[in-house]
Amino acid sequence: MNHSISRRNFLRTGAIAATAASAGGLLPSVAPAQTPGGTVKLGLASYTFRNFTRDQMIGCMKQLQVTELNCKDVKDHLPMDPTQEATALADYAANGIHVHAAGTLYFPKDEDDDIRTKFQYCKRANIKVIVSGDPTPETLPRIEKFVKEYDIKFAIHNHGPEDKIWHSPLDVLKAVKGMDPRMGCCIDIGHCERAGTDPVAAIHAVGPRLFNMHAKDLTDFTSKESQVAVGEGKIDFRAIFAALVETKYQGFVDLEYEINGDNPMPGVIASFSYMRGVLAGMKLNHA
């Protein structure tokens, strides 16, 4: 992959944004888009660059003008080892990148030691949200104990119809109802659609228990393999952004581009251009 994207390629891949609205520039910064009713903030899930080193990903983020990262222990993005983790965090800080969430993390064991290790990992990084992919309902009371101890929000990620438990954000909501308010959900927009749940309805249903979002687009709501760059599929991002403003969502919408792992930048550029264009078309202020 050539990490020096030419101006011609930026213009070509960014042109998709014109179908939404002019973004006021080729790659405007990812400062929060604000209205009197709320804020929309865009970030990146590091899994998008799962085949690339931390240094390579940082270079891509600079080109994208993205400073917010949902980081995963993949490659050397955010290692679990404390010394290596500290080195990664120093690299991000030196490049103006803020790690706001960790995930997807997995909790296969209903054991204090295993759970504490992951909460300590996030606490060292001053991470406020854990995105989790696989806790069983039986494990949640134990996890809730650590949520209270460490004051870290726990967002269960829905993985669509293939998931044995967490098909939809509504399944998550049922499981955490009545638990500590820091027990909640990460809505994966694409998997939500594939589970037959309208993301807009899910956003309103989950409400204050929504702590993170993963953005992706699909051309076929029955096919996981139909993922495309955001804006090239059928998902209504304008309605999703409006719902986030209406519900006063405080977290991030993190692009998780799961295709073209060896050459993600064209699709990532197109996705951010489109989302920024939609926000501009909705007259949400962003620099």
- Residues in contact with 88: Cβ distance below 8 Å, sequence separation at least 6, in sequence order: 54, 71, 76, 77, 78, 79
- Other Cβ atoms less than 10 A from the Cβ of 75: the count is 16
Q: What is the DSSP string of 23-52?
A: -SSSS---PPEEETTEEEEEEEEGGGGTTS
Pairing of strands 252-255, 38-45: parallel
Per-residue pLDDT reduced to its tens digit, 146-194: 999 999 999 999 998 998 899 999 999 999 999 999 999 999 999 999 9
CA distance 10 to 3: 12
Q: pLDDT tens, 62-114?
A: 999 999 999 999 999 999 999 999 999 999 999 999 999 999 999 999 999 99
Contact 71, 78 (CB under 8 A): yes
Q: Where are the domains of the chain?
A: 39-281
Write the pLDDT tens digit of every residue in 255-285: 999 999 999 999 999 999 999 999 988 877 4
| Residue 10 confidence (pLDDT) above 60 | no
DSSP classification of residue 173: H
Give me the half-sphere count of Cα atoms (radius 13 Å) on the Cβ side of residue 267. Answer: 24
Return the pLDDT at 12. Answer: 35
Residue 109's pLDDT is what? Answer: 92
Which of 30-39, 217-226, 275-284 shows the lowest mean pLDDT across its residues? Answer: 30-39
Task: Judge whether 64 and 270 are in contact, CB under 8 Å.
Answer: no
Q: Using pLDDT thresholds of 50, 70 and 90, give the confidence band for residue 17.
A: very low
**CATH number of 39-281: 2.60.40.10, 3.20.20.150, 3.40.50.720, 3.40.140.10?**
3.20.20.150
Given a contact cutoff of 8 angstroms between Cβ atoms, the answer to whether 253 and 43 are in contact is yes
- The SS3 of residue 180 is coil
Residue 30 pLDDT more than 50?
Answer: no
133-148 mean pLDDT: 95
- Using one digit for the tens of pLDDT, what is the confidence trace for 185-195? 999 999 999 99
Q: What is the CA radius of gyration of the chain?
A: 18
Phi, psi angle pair for 90, to nearest 5°: -65, -40
Distance CA 222, CA 91 (A): 40
Average pLDDT, whole number, for the chain? Answer: 88
